[in-house]
Chain A
Amino acid sequence: MSVPSDKVGKRYPPLTYAVGREKIREYAAATGFEHPLHHDLDAAHAAGYADLLAPPMFVVVYCASLFQAALLDPELEIDFAHLVHGGQAFSWQQPVIAGDEITTTLTVKDISERAGLRFDTFETVSVNQRGERTAVGTWSTIIRGEER
């Protein structure tokens, strides 16, 4: 199994995602986030928001294509057939509102091997159009060695 640890620190070009009102409704419906602030424009306005509020886990929507692009980077030599998502962490800062434009950067934080398994860690940092941080993500993958 290849372990290209010299790629730790590699950073990918930032990606900007425009947050749409119907995308928030669609994501919230698909995950069961029923709070009115994700669905009801009047409720969002009454709470002082300009538009619908994204559920916290909407972070995966605005980070997903960057994460997928990193996994497809040939320099990382990821064996898809044996790849599993091992762990995930997020911290949240500023709320995300429909109409926001969120720019995310992704960095390879770790590539290491233990007991025949390869462990990769990626970090995403997302900011809104005012440069305020909205979320930081830590994405951990495990690649199993060839089957014995």
Chain B
Amino acid sequence: MGVEVGEQFELRVTPDRYTTIRYAGASGDFNPIHIDEQFALSVGLPGRILHGLWSMAQVARAATDAAGGDPLALTELSVQFRGMARLEQEIVISGEVQAVSEARARVKLEARQGDTRLIRNAQAELLLR
């Protein structure tokens, strides 16, 4: 597979208004700040926010897509969570290949929603085959 240093890639995804409901069921994380608008507002949030690990999953998807889509290509991923992500607004995950050895690639990614940086300094290691 032709992964080269400096190559850039991007994944755009817009969570719909039920994304956090489905993710709560799928993941078991029912923290009300993600699923209950009134609760989220009552604790000073601008409304329901996305689960950080859902956003991390989008970064994981962007990384595996860059490796040709093989789900087992991803061998390491680390992220730092920053801003809170809102529903029904586009998220852009951008990445760049930092290093390529014989069978592995190291990529750096980040996730943004408008001016808000959701995930910074994400690092992934991909197995190339």
A: residues with CB less than 8 A from B are 23, 26-27, 29-33, 35, 37-38, 53, 55-57, 60-61, 64-65, 68, 81, 84-92, 95, 138
B: residues with CB less than 8 A from A are 13, 19, 22-23, 25-29, 43, 52-54, 56-58, 60-61, 64, 69-72, 74-81
| Assembly CA distance A27 to B26 (angstroms) | 5
| Assembly CA distance A33 to B73 (angstroms) | 14
Beyond A26-B26, A56-B64, whether A33 also contacts B57 by CB under 8 A is yes
CB <8 Å contact, B72 and A87: no
Beyond A32-B61, A57-B57, whether A26 also contacts B25 by CB under 8 A is yes
CB <8 Å contact, A31 and B71: no
CB <8 Å contact, A60 and B69: no
Residue from A56, A68, A81, A88 within 8 A of B71 (CB atoms): A56
| Assembly CA distance A53 to B69 (angstroms) | 14
| Assembly CA distance A57 to B81 (angstroms) | 16
Beyond A38-B71, A56-B71, A64-B29, whether A33 also contacts B61 by CB under 8 A is yes
The residue of chain A having its C-beta at the shortest distance from the C-beta of B77 within the complex is A90
| Assembly CA distance A84 to B26 (angstroms) | 21
A41 to chain B, nearest CB (A): 16
CB <8 Å contact, B75 and A61: no
| Assembly CA distance A35 to B78 (angstroms) | 22
| Assembly CA distance A133 to B49 (angstroms) | 33
Beyond A31-B54, A35-B71, whether A64 also contacts B27 by CB under 8 A is yes
Which residues on B sit within 8 Å (CB–CB) of A30? Answer: 19, 22-23, 25-27, 54
Beyond A31-B54, A31-B58, A35-B69, whether A88 also contacts B74 by CB under 8 A is no
